[in-house]
Chain A
Amino acid sequence: MKESELHIAIDQVKQGDSKAFEKIYDAYSSALFGVCLKIVNDQEQAEDVMQDAFVKIWKNIQSYESSKGTFFTWMLNIARNTAIDKLRQMKKRGGGSIQNELNDVSNMVANSESFNTNTIGLNELLQKLPEEHQQILEYLYYKGYTQQEVSDELDLPLGTVKTRSRYALRALKDLFILLLLAWTLKHI
Protein backbone atom coordinates (compact mmCIF):
# COMPACT_ATOMS: atom_id res chain seq x y z
CA MET A 1 0.00 0.00 0.00
CA LYS A 2 1.42 3.34 -1.02
CA GLU A 3 1.87 6.12 1.53
CA SER A 4 -0.69 8.31 -0.23
CA GLU A 5 -3.22 5.46 -0.48
CA LEU A 6 -2.74 4.74 3.20
CA HIS A 7 -3.46 8.36 4.15
CA ILE A 8 -6.64 8.33 2.11
CA ALA A 9 -7.68 5.01 3.66
CA ILE A 10 -7.04 6.29 7.21
CA ASP A 11 -9.16 9.38 6.52
CA GLN A 12 -11.92 7.21 5.12
CA VAL A 13 -11.80 4.88 8.14
CA LYS A 14 -12.05 7.95 10.37
CA GLN A 15 -15.29 8.71 8.50
CA GLY A 16 -16.49 5.20 9.41
CA ASP A 17 -15.78 3.58 6.03
CA SER A 18 -15.44 -0.17 6.57
CA LYS A 19 -14.35 -0.83 2.97
CA ALA A 20 -11.25 1.30 3.61
CA PHE A 21 -10.70 -0.65 6.84
CA GLU A 22 -10.67 -3.85 4.78
CA LYS A 23 -7.90 -2.39 2.63
CA ILE A 24 -5.85 -1.66 5.73
CA TYR A 25 -6.51 -5.18 7.00
CA ASP A 26 -5.33 -6.66 3.69
CA ALA A 27 -2.16 -4.60 3.74
CA TYR A 28 -1.09 -5.18 7.34
CA SER A 29 -2.77 -8.28 8.77
CA SER A 30 0.01 -10.72 7.90
CA ALA A 31 2.74 -8.59 9.48
CA LEU A 32 0.62 -8.16 12.62
CA PHE A 33 -0.37 -11.83 12.69
CA GLY A 34 3.32 -12.83 12.56
CA VAL A 35 4.00 -10.72 15.64
CA CYS A 36 0.92 -12.02 17.51
CA LEU A 37 1.92 -15.61 16.78
CA LYS A 38 5.45 -14.95 17.92
CA ILE A 39 4.16 -13.53 21.21
CA VAL A 40 1.39 -15.97 22.18
CA ASN A 41 2.90 -18.94 20.35
CA ASP A 42 -0.52 -20.45 19.68
CA GLN A 43 -2.54 -20.28 16.46
CA GLU A 44 -6.01 -20.00 18.05
CA GLN A 45 -5.00 -17.47 20.68
CA ALA A 46 -3.22 -15.42 18.01
CA GLU A 47 -6.44 -15.28 15.98
CA ASP A 48 -8.31 -14.06 19.08
CA VAL A 49 -5.67 -11.41 19.63
CA MET A 50 -5.98 -10.29 16.00
CA GLN A 51 -9.75 -9.86 16.39
CA ASP A 52 -9.36 -7.80 19.55
CA ALA A 53 -6.51 -5.76 18.09
CA PHE A 54 -8.35 -4.88 14.89
CA VAL A 55 -11.47 -3.94 16.84
CA LYS A 56 -9.29 -1.62 18.96
CA ILE A 57 -7.73 -0.16 15.81
CA TRP A 58 -11.19 0.52 14.41
CA LYS A 59 -12.53 1.98 17.66
CA ASN A 60 -9.55 4.20 18.42
CA ILE A 61 -8.63 5.33 14.92
CA GLN A 62 -9.63 8.92 15.79
CA SER A 63 -6.81 9.11 18.31
CA TYR A 64 -4.14 8.20 15.76
CA GLU A 65 -1.98 11.22 14.95
CA SER A 66 0.57 11.02 12.16
CA SER A 67 2.81 13.47 14.01
CA LYS A 68 3.50 10.84 16.67
CA GLY A 69 4.74 8.15 14.31
CA THR A 70 3.70 5.92 11.46
CA PHE A 71 0.33 4.22 11.29
CA PHE A 72 2.09 0.87 11.07
CA THR A 73 3.96 1.46 14.35
CA TRP A 74 0.70 2.56 15.96
CA MET A 75 -1.04 -0.64 14.88
CA LEU A 76 1.98 -2.74 15.79
CA ASN A 77 1.87 -1.33 19.32
CA ILE A 78 -1.84 -2.12 19.67
CA ALA A 79 -1.33 -5.68 18.40
CA ARG A 80 1.72 -6.22 20.55
CA ASN A 81 0.06 -4.90 23.72
CA THR A 82 -3.06 -6.96 23.11
CA ALA A 83 -0.97 -10.07 22.53
CA ILE A 84 1.13 -9.47 25.65
CA ASP A 85 -2.05 -9.06 27.72
CA LYS A 86 -3.29 -12.34 26.29
CA LEU A 87 0.02 -14.01 27.10
CA ARG A 88 -0.22 -12.85 30.74
CA GLN A 89 -3.80 -14.19 31.00
CA MET A 90 -2.70 -17.52 29.55
CA LYS A 91 0.14 -17.73 32.07
CA LYS A 92 -2.14 -16.97 34.99
CA ARG A 93 -4.60 -19.62 33.86
CA GLY A 94 -2.02 -22.23 32.89
CA GLY A 95 0.28 -21.41 35.80
CA GLY A 96 3.10 -22.96 33.82
CA SER A 97 6.66 -22.08 34.54
CA ILE A 98 7.81 -19.06 32.59
CA GLN A 99 11.13 -20.66 31.96
CA ASN A 100 9.53 -23.46 29.95
CA GLU A 101 7.55 -21.12 27.82
CA LEU A 102 10.55 -19.07 27.12
CA ASN A 103 12.56 -21.85 25.58
CA ASP A 104 10.83 -20.64 22.56
CA VAL A 105 12.92 -20.99 19.46
CA SER A 106 12.96 -24.78 19.49
CA ASN A 107 9.44 -24.95 20.94
CA MET A 108 8.15 -22.58 18.36
CA VAL A 109 9.64 -24.50 15.48
CA ALA A 110 8.34 -27.77 16.85
CA ASN A 111 4.83 -26.40 17.39
CA SER A 112 4.59 -24.50 14.19
CA GLU A 113 4.39 -27.24 11.61
CA SER A 114 0.91 -26.14 10.71
CA PHE A 115 2.03 -22.51 10.46
CA ASN A 116 3.29 -20.76 7.46
CA THR A 117 7.04 -21.36 7.23
CA ASN A 118 7.53 -17.61 7.55
CA THR A 119 7.17 -17.84 11.32
CA ILE A 120 10.38 -19.76 11.41
CA GLY A 121 11.75 -16.91 9.35
CA LEU A 122 11.11 -14.44 12.17
CA ASN A 123 12.85 -16.66 14.70
CA GLU A 124 15.72 -17.35 12.35
CA LEU A 125 16.02 -13.65 11.79
CA LEU A 126 16.37 -12.99 15.50
CA GLN A 127 18.85 -15.84 15.78
CA LYS A 128 21.23 -13.82 13.67
CA LEU A 129 21.62 -11.47 16.62
CA PRO A 130 24.07 -12.21 19.44
CA GLU A 131 22.45 -14.49 22.01
CA GLU A 132 22.23 -11.90 24.77
CA HIS A 133 20.47 -9.47 22.42
CA GLN A 134 18.05 -12.19 21.31
CA GLN A 135 17.21 -12.98 24.90
CA ILE A 136 16.66 -9.33 25.79
CA LEU A 137 14.41 -8.71 22.77
CA GLU A 138 12.51 -11.89 23.50
CA TYR A 139 11.69 -10.74 27.04
CA LEU A 140 11.30 -7.01 26.55
CA TYR A 141 9.63 -6.84 23.17
CA TYR A 142 7.86 -10.14 22.65
CA LYS A 143 7.03 -11.03 26.25
CA GLY A 144 6.42 -7.49 27.49
CA TYR A 145 8.61 -7.78 30.58
CA THR A 146 9.80 -4.58 32.22
CA GLN A 147 13.53 -4.14 32.66
CA GLN A 148 13.13 -4.82 36.38
CA GLU A 149 11.28 -8.09 35.68
CA VAL A 150 13.99 -9.21 33.26
CA SER A 151 16.61 -8.37 35.85
CA ASP A 152 14.79 -10.55 38.42
CA GLU A 153 14.06 -13.35 35.98
CA LEU A 154 17.57 -13.66 34.56
CA ASP A 155 19.33 -12.69 37.78
CA LEU A 156 21.18 -9.87 36.01
CA PRO A 157 21.93 -6.43 37.48
CA LEU A 158 19.37 -3.86 36.33
CA GLY A 159 22.17 -1.76 34.81
CA THR A 160 23.21 -4.66 32.59
CA VAL A 161 19.64 -5.14 31.42
CA LYS A 162 19.40 -1.43 30.60
CA THR A 163 22.62 -1.43 28.60
CA ARG A 164 21.71 -4.61 26.80
CA SER A 165 18.27 -3.36 25.85
CA ARG A 166 19.82 -0.28 24.32
CA TYR A 167 22.23 -2.35 22.27
CA ALA A 168 19.68 -5.00 21.35
CA LEU A 169 17.37 -2.48 19.72
CA ARG A 170 20.30 -0.87 17.99
CA ALA A 171 21.53 -4.27 16.81
CA LEU A 172 18.09 -4.80 15.27
CA LYS A 173 18.71 -1.72 13.19
CA ASP A 174 22.04 -3.06 11.96
CA LEU A 175 20.53 -6.48 11.35
CA PHE A 176 17.96 -4.93 9.11
CA ILE A 177 20.61 -3.10 7.11
CA LEU A 178 22.46 -6.42 6.70
CA LEU A 179 19.29 -8.13 5.50
CA LEU A 180 18.66 -5.34 3.05
CA LEU A 181 22.19 -5.69 1.71
CA ALA A 182 21.82 -9.46 1.39
CA TRP A 183 18.54 -8.98 -0.42
CA THR A 184 20.03 -6.40 -2.78
CA LEU A 185 22.98 -8.65 -3.57
CA LYS A 186 20.64 -11.52 -4.35
CA HIS A 187 18.59 -9.41 -6.74
CA ILE A 188 21.32 -7.66 -8.69
Chain B
Amino acid sequence: MDIKAYIESGIIERYVLGHVSPQEKQEVECMSHIYAEIADELRSIESSLEQIAIKGAVTPPAHLKASIMERIKSEEQVQKDSNKPEAKIIAMNTSTPTGKLNKYLAAAVVFLVIGIGGILIFMNQQQSSLNEQLNATNDRLDSLNVENAQLQTTLVATNNDLIFIKDAQTMKVLMNGTPAHSENLATVYWNTTSKKVLLEVNNLSTPPSDKQFQLWAIVNGQPQDMGVFDINTATAFLEMNETSDAQAFAITLEPKGGSASPSLDQMYVIGTI
Protein backbone atom coordinates (compact mmCIF):
# COMPACT_ATOMS: atom_id res chain seq x y z
CA MET B 1 0.00 0.00 0.00
CA ASP B 2 1.50 3.29 -1.10
CA ILE B 3 0.09 5.66 1.49
CA LYS B 4 1.68 8.70 -0.08
CA ALA B 5 0.09 7.98 -3.47
CA TYR B 6 -3.24 7.44 -1.74
CA ILE B 7 -3.00 10.83 -0.04
CA GLU B 8 -1.79 12.47 -3.27
CA SER B 9 -4.80 11.09 -5.14
CA GLY B 10 -6.94 13.80 -3.52
CA ILE B 11 -9.51 11.37 -2.15
CA ILE B 12 -9.16 12.80 1.37
CA GLU B 13 -10.08 16.27 0.15
CA ARG B 14 -13.08 14.87 -1.69
CA TYR B 15 -14.08 13.01 1.45
CA VAL B 16 -13.93 16.21 3.49
CA LEU B 17 -15.99 18.05 0.87
CA GLY B 18 -18.54 15.22 0.80
CA HIS B 19 -17.84 14.34 -2.83
CA VAL B 20 -17.31 10.59 -2.40
CA SER B 21 -19.46 7.57 -3.05
CA PRO B 22 -20.59 5.54 -0.02
CA GLN B 23 -17.92 2.92 -0.88
CA GLU B 24 -15.19 5.54 -1.04
CA LYS B 25 -16.43 7.03 2.22
CA GLN B 26 -16.09 3.68 3.98
CA GLU B 27 -12.72 3.16 2.37
CA VAL B 28 -11.32 6.46 3.67
CA GLU B 29 -12.70 5.75 7.14
CA CYS B 30 -11.19 2.29 7.13
CA MET B 31 -7.82 3.48 5.79
CA SER B 32 -7.61 6.22 8.40
CA HIS B 33 -7.99 3.56 11.07
CA ILE B 34 -5.14 1.54 9.68
CA TYR B 35 -2.70 4.26 8.64
CA ALA B 36 -1.88 7.05 11.08
CA GLU B 37 -0.55 9.17 8.22
CA ILE B 38 -3.94 9.15 6.49
CA ALA B 39 -5.72 9.85 9.77
CA ASP B 40 -3.38 12.80 10.41
CA GLU B 41 -3.96 14.22 6.95
CA LEU B 42 -7.72 13.91 7.35
CA ARG B 43 -7.71 15.43 10.83
CA SER B 44 -5.53 18.36 9.84
CA ILE B 45 -7.80 19.35 6.96
CA GLU B 46 -10.91 18.94 9.09
CA SER B 47 -9.33 20.90 11.88
CA SER B 48 -8.42 23.82 9.62
CA LEU B 49 -12.04 23.95 8.45
CA GLU B 50 -13.12 23.89 12.10
CA GLN B 51 -10.73 26.72 12.90
CA ILE B 52 -11.97 28.79 9.95
CA ALA B 53 -15.54 28.28 11.22
CA ILE B 54 -14.53 29.43 14.70
CA LYS B 55 -12.78 32.50 13.28
CA GLY B 56 -15.86 33.37 11.25
CA ALA B 57 -18.35 32.81 14.09
CA VAL B 58 -21.44 35.03 14.17
CA THR B 59 -23.67 35.09 17.23
CA PRO B 60 -27.18 34.03 16.18
CA PRO B 61 -30.19 36.02 17.45
CA ALA B 62 -31.32 35.00 20.95
CA HIS B 63 -34.81 33.86 19.84
CA LEU B 64 -33.27 31.14 17.68
CA LYS B 65 -32.17 29.06 20.65
CA ALA B 66 -35.63 29.18 22.19
CA SER B 67 -37.34 28.00 19.01
CA ILE B 68 -34.82 25.20 18.45
CA MET B 69 -35.25 23.98 22.04
CA GLU B 70 -39.00 24.11 21.51
CA ARG B 71 -38.77 22.07 18.31
CA ILE B 72 -36.66 19.25 19.69
CA LYS B 73 -39.25 18.63 22.40
CA SER B 74 -41.45 17.07 19.73
CA GLU B 75 -38.63 15.28 17.88
CA GLU B 76 -37.72 11.69 18.71
CA GLN B 77 -34.08 10.69 18.43
CA VAL B 78 -33.38 8.17 15.67
CA GLN B 79 -32.02 4.98 17.22
CA LYS B 80 -28.68 3.91 15.95
CA ASP B 81 -29.38 0.66 14.12
CA SER B 82 -32.58 1.66 12.35
CA ASN B 83 -31.28 3.66 9.40
CA LYS B 84 -27.57 3.21 9.18
CA PRO B 85 -25.43 1.85 6.37
CA GLU B 86 -23.31 -0.04 8.92
CA ALA B 87 -26.43 -1.81 10.16
CA LYS B 88 -27.27 -2.93 6.63
CA ILE B 89 -23.84 -4.46 6.17
CA ILE B 90 -24.14 -6.43 9.41
CA ALA B 91 -27.52 -7.72 8.25
CA MET B 92 -26.02 -8.90 4.95
CA ASN B 93 -23.24 -10.68 6.79
CA THR B 94 -25.59 -12.59 9.05
CA SER B 95 -27.77 -13.57 6.13
CA THR B 96 -24.87 -15.34 4.41
CA PRO B 97 -24.77 -19.10 4.94
CA THR B 98 -21.40 -19.05 6.70
CA GLY B 99 -21.47 -20.10 10.34
CA LYS B 100 -20.65 -18.01 13.35
CA LEU B 101 -17.23 -19.61 13.67
CA ASN B 102 -16.34 -18.58 10.12
CA LYS B 103 -17.33 -15.04 10.96
CA TYR B 104 -14.92 -14.99 13.88
CA LEU B 105 -12.30 -16.62 11.73
CA ALA B 106 -12.78 -13.95 9.08
CA ALA B 107 -12.51 -11.23 11.72
CA ALA B 108 -9.34 -12.85 13.08
CA VAL B 109 -7.84 -12.99 9.57
CA VAL B 110 -8.67 -9.34 9.00
CA PHE B 111 -6.99 -8.36 12.26
CA LEU B 112 -4.03 -10.58 11.48
CA VAL B 113 -3.59 -8.99 8.05
CA ILE B 114 -3.90 -5.52 9.54
CA GLY B 115 -1.44 -6.48 12.27
CA ILE B 116 1.10 -7.93 9.85
CA GLY B 117 0.69 -4.86 7.62
CA GLY B 118 1.38 -2.64 10.62
CA ILE B 119 4.46 -4.64 11.59
CA LEU B 120 5.78 -4.53 8.03
CA ILE B 121 5.37 -0.77 7.86
CA PHE B 122 7.03 -0.39 11.24
CA MET B 123 9.94 -2.63 10.22
CA ASN B 124 10.30 -0.81 6.93
CA GLN B 125 10.53 2.49 8.77
CA GLN B 126 13.07 1.05 11.22
CA GLN B 127 15.09 -0.30 8.33
CA SER B 128 15.25 3.00 6.48
CA SER B 129 16.17 4.86 9.64
CA LEU B 130 18.97 2.35 10.28
CA ASN B 131 20.18 2.74 6.70
CA GLU B 132 20.28 6.46 7.19
CA GLN B 133 22.31 6.11 10.35
CA LEU B 134 24.70 3.72 8.61
CA ASN B 135 25.23 6.13 5.73
CA ALA B 136 25.90 8.97 8.13
CA THR B 137 28.42 6.85 10.04
CA ASN B 138 30.18 5.82 6.81
CA ASP B 139 30.44 9.45 5.73
CA ARG B 140 31.93 10.37 9.09
CA LEU B 141 34.42 7.50 8.81
CA ASP B 142 35.49 8.66 5.33
CA SER B 143 36.10 12.19 6.49
CA LEU B 144 38.04 10.92 9.53
CA ASN B 145 40.26 8.84 7.20
CA VAL B 146 41.00 11.88 5.08
CA GLU B 147 41.77 13.92 8.19
CA ASN B 148 44.02 11.16 9.46
CA ALA B 149 46.02 11.04 6.19
CA GLN B 150 46.46 14.81 6.30
CA LEU B 151 47.70 14.64 9.89
CA GLN B 152 50.18 11.88 8.96
CA THR B 153 51.63 14.01 6.15
CA THR B 154 51.95 17.02 8.46
CA LEU B 155 53.56 14.86 11.13
CA VAL B 156 56.18 13.46 8.72
CA ALA B 157 56.99 16.96 7.44
CA THR B 158 57.29 18.34 10.97
CA ASN B 159 59.47 15.44 11.97
CA ASN B 160 61.79 16.05 9.00
CA ASP B 161 61.99 19.73 9.91
CA LEU B 162 62.88 18.80 13.48
CA ILE B 163 65.68 16.42 12.36
CA PHE B 164 67.03 19.16 10.09
CA ILE B 165 67.03 21.77 12.86
CA LYS B 166 68.69 19.43 15.40
CA ASP B 167 71.46 18.52 12.92
CA ALA B 168 74.89 19.59 14.19
CA GLN B 169 75.65 21.22 10.83
CA THR B 170 72.50 23.39 10.97
CA MET B 171 73.09 26.99 11.98
CA LYS B 172 70.41 29.14 13.58
CA VAL B 173 70.52 32.78 12.45
CA LEU B 174 68.21 35.15 14.29
CA MET B 175 67.17 38.16 12.15
CA ASN B 176 66.14 41.12 14.32
CA GLY B 177 63.96 44.02 13.18
CA THR B 178 65.58 47.13 11.65
CA PRO B 179 64.95 50.42 13.58
CA ALA B 180 61.88 51.20 11.44
CA HIS B 181 60.45 47.70 12.07
CA SER B 182 61.92 46.87 15.45
CA GLU B 183 59.08 44.54 16.48
CA ASN B 184 59.69 42.24 13.45
CA LEU B 185 61.58 38.99 13.90
CA ALA B 186 62.45 35.97 11.70
CA THR B 187 64.84 33.01 11.94
CA VAL B 188 66.92 31.22 9.28
CA TYR B 189 68.08 27.62 9.73
CA TRP B 190 70.98 26.96 7.32
CA ASN B 191 72.77 23.65 6.94
CA THR B 192 76.32 24.30 5.76
CA THR B 193 76.71 20.76 4.43
CA SER B 194 73.39 20.17 2.62
CA LYS B 195 73.03 23.95 1.81
CA LYS B 196 69.33 23.68 2.63
CA VAL B 197 67.69 26.80 4.10
CA LEU B 198 64.49 26.88 6.21
CA LEU B 199 62.84 30.13 7.22
CA GLU B 200 60.73 30.60 10.32
CA VAL B 201 58.56 33.72 10.37
CA ASN B 202 58.30 34.70 14.04
CA ASN B 203 56.70 38.09 13.52
CA LEU B 204 56.51 40.01 10.26
CA SER B 205 54.12 42.87 9.44
CA THR B 206 51.38 41.91 6.93
CA PRO B 207 52.53 43.16 3.50
CA PRO B 208 50.23 45.23 1.23
CA SER B 209 48.52 43.09 -1.40
CA ASP B 210 50.80 44.23 -4.25
CA LYS B 211 54.03 43.45 -2.30
CA GLN B 212 55.87 40.32 -1.17
CA PHE B 213 58.70 39.64 1.25
CA GLN B 214 62.02 38.42 -0.23
CA LEU B 215 64.86 36.66 1.61
CA TRP B 216 68.46 37.56 0.75
CA ALA B 217 71.78 35.97 1.69
CA ILE B 218 74.77 38.35 1.85
CA VAL B 219 77.66 36.49 0.25
CA ASN B 220 81.01 38.33 0.13
CA GLY B 221 79.26 41.72 0.39
CA GLN B 222 76.85 40.90 -2.46
CA PRO B 223 73.08 40.17 -1.99
CA GLN B 224 71.99 36.79 -3.33
CA ASP B 225 68.26 36.06 -4.01
CA MET B 226 66.90 33.33 -1.72
CA GLY B 227 63.31 33.52 -2.97
CA VAL B 228 60.06 35.36 -2.23
CA PHE B 229 57.50 34.04 0.23
CA ASP B 230 54.04 34.66 1.60
CA ILE B 231 53.30 34.62 5.29
CA ASN B 232 51.52 31.33 5.74
CA THR B 233 50.52 30.35 9.23
CA ALA B 234 49.71 26.77 8.22
CA THR B 235 53.33 25.60 8.05
CA ALA B 236 55.94 26.40 10.69
CA PHE B 237 58.89 26.51 8.24
CA LEU B 238 59.29 27.73 4.68
CA GLU B 239 61.87 26.03 2.49
CA MET B 240 63.93 28.69 0.65
CA ASN B 241 66.65 28.55 -2.05
CA GLU B 242 69.88 26.78 -1.18
CA THR B 243 73.16 28.56 -0.58
CA SER B 244 76.71 27.28 0.00
CA ASP B 245 78.00 30.45 1.58
CA ALA B 246 76.60 33.40 3.58
CA GLN B 247 77.74 36.01 6.11
CA ALA B 248 74.29 37.44 6.77
CA PHE B 249 70.59 36.99 5.93
CA ALA B 250 68.00 39.78 5.46
CA ILE B 251 64.36 40.22 4.41
CA THR B 252 63.11 43.16 2.33
CA LEU B 253 59.66 44.12 1.05
CA GLU B 254 59.59 44.00 -2.77
CA PRO B 255 57.00 44.32 -5.55
CA LYS B 256 55.11 41.06 -6.07
CA GLY B 257 57.34 38.41 -7.63
CA GLY B 258 60.54 39.81 -6.15
CA SER B 259 63.38 42.03 -7.39
CA ALA B 260 66.86 41.35 -8.82
CA SER B 261 68.48 43.44 -6.08
CA PRO B 262 67.10 44.35 -2.67
CA SER B 263 65.43 47.71 -1.89
CA LEU B 264 67.57 48.57 1.10
CA ASP B 265 65.14 51.19 2.45
CA GLN B 266 62.55 48.41 2.64
CA MET B 267 64.61 46.11 4.84
CA TYR B 268 62.55 44.64 7.69
CA VAL B 269 64.93 42.25 9.47
CA ILE B 270 68.65 41.37 9.27
CA GLY B 271 70.91 38.89 11.08
CA THR B 272 74.64 38.27 10.74
CA ILE B 273 76.39 34.96 11.29
What sequence of 0s and 1s flags, for each residue 149-174 of chain A, a beta carbon within 8 Å of any chain B beta carbon? 00000000000001001100110110
The answer to whether A35 and B75 touch across the interface, beta carbons within 8 angstroms, is no
Q: Which B residues touch A141, using CB under 8 A?
A: 17, 49
Taking CB atoms, residues of chain A closer than 8 Å to B71 are 51, 54-55
CB distance from B112 to the nearest CB of A (A): 21
Question: Is B99 interfacial (CB-CB < 8 Å)?
Answer: no
Check B48–A34 contact: CB distance below 8 A.
Answer: no
Interface stretch, picked from B55-63, B122-130, B196-204, is B55-63
Cα A73 to Cα B17 in complex, Å, equals: 11
Residues of B within 8 A of A76 (CB): 49-50, 53
Which of A1-9, A58-66, A86-94, A95-103 is the interface stretch?
A58-66
Of B77-85, B135-143, B239-247, the one contacting chain A is: B77-85
Interface residue from A34, A61, A62, A67 paired with B58 (Cβ < 8 Å) = A34
* Chain A residues closer than 8 Å to B73, beta-carbon distance: 18
B44→A69 contact, CB < 8 A: no
Whether B79 contacts A176 by the Cβ 8 Å rule is: no
Which bucket holds chain B's interface residue count? 35 or more
Interface residues in A33-73 by Cβ distance below 8 A to B read 33-35, 37-38, 47, 50-51, 54-55, 58-63, 67-70, 72-73
Chain B 252-273, CB-CB to A under 8 Å as 1, else 0, gives 0000000000000000000000
Q: CA A121 – CA B59 in complex, angstroms?
A: 13
Mark interface residues in A77-118 (1 if CB within 8 Å of B CB, else 0): 100110000000000000000000000000000000001101
Tell me the minimal C-beta distance from A27 to chain B in angstroms.
11
B65 within 8 A of A: yes
The CA of A21 and the CA of B68, in the complex, are separated in Å by: 10
Q: Select B68's contact among A14, A50, A146, A176, beta carbons within 8 Å.
A: A50
Q: A33-B57, A122-B56, A125-B56 are in contact. Are A59 and B50 (CB under 8 A)?
A: no
Q: Do residues B55 and A166 form an inter-chain contact, with CB atoms below 8 A?
A: no
B161: CB under 8 A from chain A?
A: no
Name the interface residues of B2-48: CB closer than 8 Å to any CB of A: 10, 13-14, 16-19, 29, 33, 42-48
A49 to B203, CA, bound (A): 89
Tell me the bound Cα distance from A128 to B84 in angstroms.
40
Q: From DSSP, what is the main secondary structure of chain A's interface residues?
A: helix
In the complex the two chains form, is B52's CB within 8 Å of A173's CB?
no
Pick the residue among B45, B58, B79, B84 that contacts A172 (CB under 8 A).
Answer: B45
- State whether B61 touches A47 (Cβ < 8 A): yes
Do A30 and B65 form a contact, CB below 8 Å, given A55-B75, A60-B78, A62-B77? no
CB <8 Å contact, B77 and A33: no
Is there a chain A Cβ closer than 8 Å to B90's Cβ?
Answer: no
Task: Using CB atoms and an 8 Å cutoff, list the residues of chain A in contact with chain B.
Answer: 14, 16, 18, 21-22, 25-26, 29-35, 37-38, 47, 50-51, 54-55, 58-63, 67-70, 72-73, 76-77, 80-81, 115-116, 118-119, 121-123, 125-126, 140-141, 144, 146-147, 162, 165-166, 169-170, 172-173, 175-176, 179
User: Can you list 22 A-B pairs, Cβ within 8 angstroms, ordered by A?
Assistant: A21-B69, A21-B72, A26-B65, A29-B64, A30-B59, A31-B53, A31-B57, A33-B58, A51-B71, A55-B75, A73-B49, A76-B49, A81-B18, A116-B59, A121-B56, A123-B56, A146-B19, A147-B19, A165-B13, A172-B52, A179-B51, A179-B55
Residues of B within 8 A of A (CB): 10, 13-14, 16-19, 29, 33, 42-61, 64-65, 67-69, 71-73, 75-80, 84
Which 8 A-B pairs rank lowest in CB-CB distance, beginning with the nearest? A122-B56, A30-B57, A34-B56, A33-B60, A62-B80, A34-B58, A173-B48, A31-B53
